[in-house]
Amino acid sequence: MDRAVHRIQQAKENTEKILIYGDYDVDGVTSSALLRRLLNHLGIQAINYIPHRMEEGYGLNQEVAEFAKSQGIHLLITVDCGINAFLPIEAINAAGIDVIVIDHHEPEGTKLPPALAVIDPKRTDCLYPFKNLSAVGLVAKLMQAILGHIPLEDLDLVALGTVADVVPLYGENRIFVKNGLPFIEKTNKPGLQALLEVAKIAGKKMKPYYIGFILGPRLNAAGRMDSANVSLDLLLSENSADAYALACSLEAHNLTRQKMQSEVVEEALAMIEADEILKAQDIIVVHKQGWHKGVLGIVAARIVDKYYRPTIVISVEEGMGTGSARSVDGFHLHEALSSCAGVLENYGGHKRAAGLRLKYDNIEVFRQAINDFAGQVLPQEKFIPSLGVDCEIPLDVIDLNLMEIISSMEPHGEGNPTPVFCSRGLTVKSPPSLMGKDTIKFWVSDGNRAISAVGFGMGSFKDKVKLGAQVDLAYTLSIDDWNKAPTVQLVLKDIK
């Protein structure tokens, strides 16, 4: 950090121009925007570069050295990438340009790229106590190191990138998100204002759910379908009319992404169902010519949801495969890919999510290799999804006071999930009614207290839950205030 701060201050004194090289996901885009705001505040001229997912792929590439040179760049700062970009950084250095790496991905052992400064809490020699910052969190720490504080009005970007990158919401991340959510609600950035409006959540109390399922997918859609520069331009926009047009463009990209994603999910599931060998393997590796690279990660996640197996989805083009991987608890993807490094062109990522490139001819060898690795490290019980219950409680302790205690633990999300409760031997007091397409609602009682239970996506239970039956329920709690005074209801996770 001290080297990075010194070099940025030197750039300011010498009126040097800086290139910010970011990733195309929400963490990369918010990091790029936050760093640009910092450099502008310092009076440093900066330009942004985000690689095109389809044309350039993930991470720093060697071609950027020529681009940077042509732009008169003296310092290049990577955000959310770069920790394993050894050759590109050598090429940039050879062009007479210094490099600072700001990344939160796993380095290859103790080896670090030949950059002037490498800010990554996952470095084996890093003594910083909190290891789980996202890239935007690291840029916030850089701000703190340079300015002595993190400007409160920029906590909106920090919270946005932190939640969207699904890093654990404890430690510093919890502080960033808890304090940043209200700044998203009342953001002074025209781009975020427009995004909230177009996504129809302006004025709502901001929750991680809205970032994860509404704002994040829209900001990600540009990089998935075309260029992530649309999202970056939106976050940096100073003009309300321009911002609204960009937000509408993201909305259109998101609709296209949803349609394409559905098609690829359908095709991939059909392939798995038709192939008994593929379906029986510990690690599902599925590939096809021409699948859109922008949706592979989401498709892999959908397949994990259905089969509860680590999944790798590969799109093939001109003899090369580009893949996205998602995992289950207990299977470390980055370690698994490291064990197959010999058949991969490159790879990178975390425990739960990763990306890779390989030759088409190596796909079968890779499928065998990763399944062999899984056979050594994964006990079969890991493939049985389990639901962790935090506490077994009687219904009569459920009230608004308990809800207040739970809400004091917010924001809930990765690493700090909403508490799951369980009550056993309840009697069903009303037959389940179907609400909408796939939601059931019914009343239960333990003899002392009756309470309503709602099950989203649980329509298949409608005819299984009979009036007067005894059931055990696992659930979270929520407030039901639809057209009435607020009461607590059970939000079902499972029924036994």
Residue 81 maps to which CATH number? 3.90.1640.30
For residue 123, is it within any domain? yes
pLDDT band at 384 (very low <50, low <70, confident <90, very high): confident
pLDDT at 63 over 90: no
Amino acid at 40: N
Amino acid at 207: K
CA 96 to chain centre: 35
Question: What is the pLDDT averaged over residues 8-13?
Answer: 98
Domain limits for position 437: 391-495
Whether the CB-CB separation of 474 and 493 falls below 8 Å is answered with yes
Q: Give the pLDDT mean for 283-293.
A: 94
Residue 126 and residue 69 in one domain: yes
Beta bridge partners of 443: 452
Give the mean model confidence (pLDDT) for residues 381-398.
Answer: 90
- Top-confidence range, 299-303, 378-382, 482-486: 299-303
Q: How far is CA 368 from the centre of its chain?
A: 28
Pairing outcome for strands 117-119 and 98-102: parallel
Q: Look at residue 262 and tell me if it is in a domain.
A: no
Q: Are residues 360 and 396 in the same domain?
A: no
Q: Is-contact 321 315, C-beta < 8 A?
A: yes
The number of C-alpha atoms within 13 Å of 328 and in the hemisphere containing its C-beta is: 23
Looking at the structure of the chain, the number of domains it has is 3
* Cβ atoms 119, 102 nearer than 8 A: yes
As a whole number, mean pLDDT of residues 291-308 equals 92
Contact 328, 308 (CB under 8 A): yes
CB-CB neighbours of 126 under 10 Å = 14
Residues 231 and 301 both lie in one domain: no
Name residues whose C-beta falls within 8 Å of residue 279's C-beta, 6 or more positions apart in sequence: 272, 273, 307
Report the pLDDT averaged over residues 298-305.
93
Q: Across 6-102, where does the E strand assignment appear?
A: 17-22, 45-49, 75-79, 98-102
Q: Specify the range with the lowest mean pLDDT, choosing from 226-230, 312-316, 379-383, 491-495.
A: 379-383
Mean pLDDT over 396-418 rounds to 93
Tell which of 343, 360, 383 closes a domain.
383
User: Is 414 in the same domain as 349?
Assistant: no
For the chain, percent of residues with pLDDT exceeding 70: 100
Q: Looking at the structure, tell me whether residues 409 and 372 fall in a common domain.
A: no
The confidence band for 225, taking pLDDT boundaries of 50, 70 and 90, is confident
Asked whether residue 59 is domain-assigned, the answer is yes
Residue 56, pLDDT above cutoff 80:
no
Whether residue 180 sits in one domain with residue 53: yes
Question: Looking at residues 417-430, what average pLDDT do you find?
Answer: 96
Flag whether 270 is in a domain: no
Residue with tokens 């010519």: 289
User: Which letter does DSSP use for residue 211 in this model?
Assistant: I
List CB contacts of 54: < 8 A, sequence separation 6 or more.
Answer: 293, 294
**How would you classify residue 251: left for phi > 0, otherwise alpha for psi between -120 and 50, otherwise beta?**
alpha
Using alpha carbons, select from 23, 7, 8, 78 the residue that is nearest to residue 297.
Answer: 23
Percent of the chain with pLDDT over 90: 83
Q: What is the mean pLDDT of residues 395-424?
A: 94
Question: Are residues 229 and 150 located together in one domain of the fold?
Answer: yes
Q: Looking at the structure, do residues 34 and 174 belong to the same domain, yes or no?
A: yes
In this model, does residue 382 exceed pLDDT 80? no
Q: Contact at 8 Å (CB) between 81 and 21? A: yes
The DSSP letter of residue 170 is S
* 321 belongs to a structural domain: yes
Length of the chain: 496
| Contacts of residue 10, Cβ cutoff 8 Å, sequence gap at least 6 | 16
**Which tokens go with 491?**
């939000």
| CATH number of the domain within which 295 lies | 3.10.310.30
- pLDDT score for 330: 84
Q: What does the pLDDT average to over 387-415?
A: 94
Torsion of CA 466, 468, 472, 474, to 10 degrees: 70
Among 27-31, 141-145, 222-226, which is the least confidently predicted range? 222-226
Residue type, 91: A
Tell me, yes or no, whether 163 and 299 share the same domain. no
What is the CATH classification number for the domain harbouring 491? 2.40.50.460
Residue 46 is predicted with a pLDDT of: 97
> Average of pLDDT values for 391-409?
94
Q: Which two tokens stand for residue 457?
A: 């996506």
Q: Residues 96, 230: one domain?
A: yes
Of 63, 95, 98, residue with least CA distance to 78? 98
Contact 293, 53 (CB under 8 A): yes
Order of strands across the sheet that contains 45-49: 45-49, 17-22, 75-79, 98-102, 117-119
As given in the structure block, the two tokens for residue 465 are: 């839950």
Last residue of a domain, one of 356, 383, 410: 383
Spacing of C-alpha 454 from chain mean position: 27
**Does a structural domain hold residue 269?**
no
In a domain, 100, yes or no: yes
* Same-domain pairing of 311 and 458: no
**Residue 424 host element (H or E):** strand 421-428
Rounded distance between C-alpha atoms, residue 364 and residue 285, angstroms:
9
Lowest mean pLDDT among 35-49, 247-261, 374-388: 374-388
Between the alpha carbon of residue 63 and those of residues 91, 214, 418, 421, the distances in Å are 9, 34, 45, 54
Range of weakest confidence among 278-287, 350-359, 380-389? 380-389
What tokens were used for 427? Answer: 């009697």
What is the rounded average pLDDT of the residues 302-331? 93
**Residue 267 domain-assigned (yes or no):** no
pLDDT mean across residues, the chain: 93
329 pLDDT tier (thresholds 50, 70, 90): confident
Task: Among 353, 383, 413, give the residue marking a domain's end.
Answer: 383
Q: pTM, whole model, 2 decimals? A: 0.86
14 pLDDT above the threshold of 80: yes
Let me know whether 107 and 176 are in one domain. Answer: yes
Distance CA 296, CA 406 (A): 36
At 468, is the secondary structure helix, strand, or coil?
coil
Q: Cα–Cα distance between 174 and 168 in angstroms, integer? A: 8
Residue 327 backbone phi and psi in degrees, to 5: -125, 180
Q: What is the pLDDT of residue 215?
A: 96
Banded model confidence at residue 224, pLDDT cuts 50, 70, 90 = confident
CA atoms of 196 and 213, how far apart (whole Å): 13
The Cα–Cα gap between 464 and 462 comes to: 6
Mean pLDDT confidence for 371-400? 89
| pLDDT score recorded for residue 360 | 96
